[in-house]
Amino acid sequence: MKMTFRWFGENQDPIGLREIKQIPGMTGVVTSLLDIPAGEAWPEERIAAMVAAVHAAGLEVEVIESVNIHEDIKLGAPGRDEKIENYIVTMDRLARHGIKCICYNMMPVLDWARSHLYYDLPDGSNTMRYEAAFIANLSTEELAARYAEESDTYEMPGWEPERMKKINHYLQAYRGMKEETFYANMKYFLDAIIPHAEKLDIKMAVHPDDPPQPIFGLPKLIISRDNIRKYLDLHPSRHNGLTLCTGSLGAKKGADIPAMVREFGGEGKIHFAHVRNLRFENETDFYESAHYTPCGSLDIFAIMKAFHDVGFVGYVRPDHGRMIWDETTKKGRPGYGLYDRAIGANYLLGLWEALERCST
Ligand SMILES: [Mn+2]
């Protein structure tokens, strides 16, 4: 297992590589080139500069999160072939610069969604929250405006103004789209890219949809064990794998995450893991808690034990954390402050050390 930390890039993240390097056990960062629109090929010089900056800080960069999928690909719209070609060019350039794993998602139009970015907890920290009824009463524009206001300093990935301009067009395009059509479009993409991933030895790792239920009438497919199985079987290959995100999958009450880790991890299909905790407030609503098992509703020890039992050798990162110790928006994007994620990483590393040493 390699412990990593999400970093949004220079000028995009108030947290510096030097700070990340100082977290015990951190081997590298997981990053992206956020300003490049989905569907375009990433310029090689930009990739080279990003990799050089990370290496200069004494860290590795072997995972990209994310190379986003253009809506034309997900919709099976005319123009998808050109976007898939650009995707392959990007994969090729990333492989040349040492990238070994690409995280991406198949969420229609919108990336993740929360009702609150800074929900106050009784201990004075704040965190992201999902309240289903709150979201149900908002339009996408209202939610985007709320995000823009709350996260003043940075654009929220997945909610960029550019994307929001076309939102109604896309909401309309997905309306009435059959599940099978969506799977067929995904298969078309996988059939095109996975042979290249095999040749380049880049592990493709699809991230589940977050939250794991339809919002704004958009279909959500990658949300359960059965659907993940179906997705991976669209193009069976070790290079067609999964980013197992405990917080996304675990936001559906009753989801058996350790069982999913054993099943997909046992097949060598989990290449990257996002490990975080959340606390359910009722059947659908939750807030993102500290990673430590007693703080939330997920059994993080059982999850890490499942990873250990299947001999997991992929990348892991702590996921969203709370904002603590008076961190403000100037110190981190929502969910991506420094301190709680550093604590989370070291909790996971501590569990891992104990599992390793108890098993020898
Ligand atoms: Mn995640």
Please write the tens of the pLDDT for every residue from 302-353: 999 999 999 999 999 999 999 999 887 667 788 899 999 999 999 999 999 9
In total, how many domains does the chain have?
1
Catalytic positions = 207, 245, 274, 319-320, 336
- Residues of the domain holding 339: 2-358
CA of 289 from ligand 1 middle (Å) equals 14
Dig out the tokens for 48 from the structure: 């080279």
The DSSP code for 336 is: B
Dig out the tokens for 186 from the structure: 């995904």
Look-up of token digits 């524009």: 141
- With beta carbons less than 8 A apart as the criterion, state whether 4 and 315 touch: yes
Q: Give the residue from 17, 29, 24, 13 showing the smallest Cα distance to 56.
A: 17
Q: How far is CA 247 from the centre of its chain?
A: 10
Could you tell me the pLDDT band of residue 211, with boundaries at 50, 70 and 90? confident
Q: Could you give the percent of the chain with pLDDT greater than 70? A: 96
- With beta carbons less than 8 A apart as the criterion, state whether 278 and 297 touch: yes
CATH at residue 245? 3.20.20.150
- With beta carbons less than 8 A apart as the criterion, state whether 191 and 235 touch: yes
50-105 tens-digit pLDDT: 999 999 999 999 999 999 999 999 999 999 999 999 999 999 999 999 999 999 99
**Residue 129, pLDDT above cutoff 90:** yes
Could you tell me the pLDDT band of residue 171, with boundaries at 50, 70 and 90? confident
259-283 tens-digit pLDDT: 999 999 999 999 999 999 999 999 9
CA of 112 from ligand 1 middle (Å) equals 9
Instruction: Name the residue type at position 41.
Output: A
CA of 257 from ligand 1 middle (Å) equals 13
Dig out the tokens for 230 from the structure: 């179906």
Reduced to 3 states, what is the DSSP secondary structure of residue 274? strand
Look-up of token digits 């992206």: 32
CA of 65 from ligand 1 middle (Å) equals 10
CA of 317 from ligand 1 middle (Å) equals 9
Q: Which residues contact 204 (CB under 8 A, 6 or more apart)?
A: 101, 102, 104, 193, 194, 197, 239, 240, 241, 271
Predicted pLDDT at 102: 98
